[in-house]
Structure 1
């Protein structure tokens, strides 16, 4: 089932796997809703989560959302696009569909949106999964991580790219190959609908992104997860998130041998870990 909804001045595309209510004896039991937010900016949509994330539908309702300016959602004016408006979209989207107390999963840039959503709308989420993300852009930290896992030449290419200089497709492929032991393959990447204008706008905003101070406003349980071989959002970036969240609210999980897409690198460790968090007593109001 795929659908659109008009919220917050835009049209958002979403897809649903799994029921919210399931028969349980003489009653209907409510299951958690996992709202999945993709990376980017402008370069990804929900499609790279499929079919892997379908397994969550065994224990939760899974909703895939293409953020505004991405995929099959309305693109609009790229100059008006920002992380904050996407965060407000998430709140408005859930309210429009009657989704109460979701668990919001944000991967990479989706994590930016998820943490801003939770900080700007306390009390709305029942939990956050901040996967392979960061609360603050730190070019030196990123370049050093690429150097550690890819060597000096790849680090130099990553520095050029993330600084806003152009790199060729071949040069970028060398950088992308270091994202982790396993990265999305050609077919998975070909399924994306890309928006170059939002990519340019988003990377301008990415280079000044700093939400560290706002994390004190997050009032829900949070799982911060990272692969120990992730150069894009290294372990130090994940630790920085945990340190900025309210004391006792966050758990840090470092997946050994995994990169930026840890479900591909260590599925036997990854899926039980996230499933346990999603289903840990989180119910709608």
Structure 2
């Protein structure tokens, strides 16, 4: 693990595991790199996997004076890639990280191989809204009751009860002010007009029973992005990447194998 200094002086945490075509992982809202624990080790069997913490979470610094934007997050990601000498990479974004990945695809297409969008949405007025109860859970995530609500949104109850450590990894991290800045960046995003211009091969992955980011958003993304492929995992919620981890990771790896970076060099 290490740090790179972004353009505005903020120190951004990252680590690297494995060998092969690079694969950048982008975290969910207010979550740190630990949300990928277990998943990233499987991905690293075939890829040079790069995890990073968005500013305001985990090992990265948390400047609080200015709003966070997805353009700022993409700039931080590019700083990490530059530090590692990575000129092109696959990108796998989960939830809010999927919105950052859309921005990456639109603003730095020359740096992108293929794109995986997990449990995410297009933002703006076209986004299929979550139930108000799900938003309430996000706002209460720092409380004991909120923890239980988040667990239920991410996983089926029996699975959550059997995997308490995984539940802990998907609870918001970092200063409360930084969490609010993450929330503001996510809710202020509208990528609808960006999506038709995404040229990278794209896989959209979603849990069928996701109430945090309703599955209708996956269909919108797959229809809006040219030639995108859609994978809906039955019986899973927002945290499909853990509860249906074996199938989801296998499908992602197979998709990435169809689009090696060398094929487009």
- 1:38-49 matches, within 5 Å, as 38-40=27-29, 42=30, 44-49=31-36
Is the 1:137–1:206 contact (alpha carbons within 8 Å) kept by the matching residues of 2? no
How far apart are residue 188 of structure 1 and its match? 4.0
Aligned to 1:8: 7
1:222 to 199, 202, 209: 202
Separation (CA, whole Å) in 1 of partners of 2:141 and 2:23: 36
Q: Are 1:209 and 2:197 matched, yes or no?
A: no
Alpha-carbon displacement from aligned partner over 1:183-231 (angstroms, at most 9, x marks no partner): 5954345567423111112223333321111122322111110010111
Alpha-carbon displacement from aligned partner over 1:98-143 (angstroms, at most 9, x marks no partner): 1122011111111111111111112210011100111115687311
Aligned to 1:175: 149
Q: How many residues align?
A: 255
Instruction: Please say which structure displays the higher CA radius of gyration.
Output: 1
Is the 1:183–1:264 contact (alpha carbons within 8 Å) kept by the matching residues of 2? no
How far apart are residue 159 of structure 1 and its match? 4.6
Is the 1:180–1:229 contact (alpha carbons within 8 Å) kept by the matching residues of 2? no
Aligned to 1:152: none
Q: Extract unaligned runs of 5+ from structure 1.
A: 20-30, 144-155
Aligned to 2:23: 34
Aligned to 1:269: 247
Q: Are 1:90 and 2:77 matched, yes or no?
A: yes
Give the secondary structure class of the aligned counterpart of 1:187.
Answer: helix
Separation (CA, whole Å) in 2 of partners of 1:134 and 1:34: 21
Alpha-carbon displacement from aligned partner over 1:4-57 (angstroms, at most 9, x marks no partner): 1123222211111113xxxxxxxxxxx2111111111x3x10012113320111
Q: Are 1:70 and 2:44 matched, yes or no?
A: no
> Against the structure 1 CA distance between its residues 188 and 272, is the aligned structure 2 distance closer, same or farther, given a 3 Å change threshold?
closer
- 1:119-134 matches, within 5 Å, as 119-134=106-121
Separation (CA, whole Å) in 1 of partners of 2:74 and 2:229: 22
Q: Extract unaligned runs of 5+ from structure 2.
A: none
2:43 to 56, 81, 104: 56
> Against the structure 1 CA distance between its residues 96 and 267, is the aligned structure 2 distance closer, same or farther, given a 3 Å change threshold?
closer
Q: Are 1:141 and 2:129 matched, yes or no?
A: yes
Separation (CA, whole Å) in 2 of partners of 1:169 and 1:218: 39
Q: TM-score when scaled to structure 1? A: 0.80
Q: TM-score when scaled to structure 2? A: 0.86
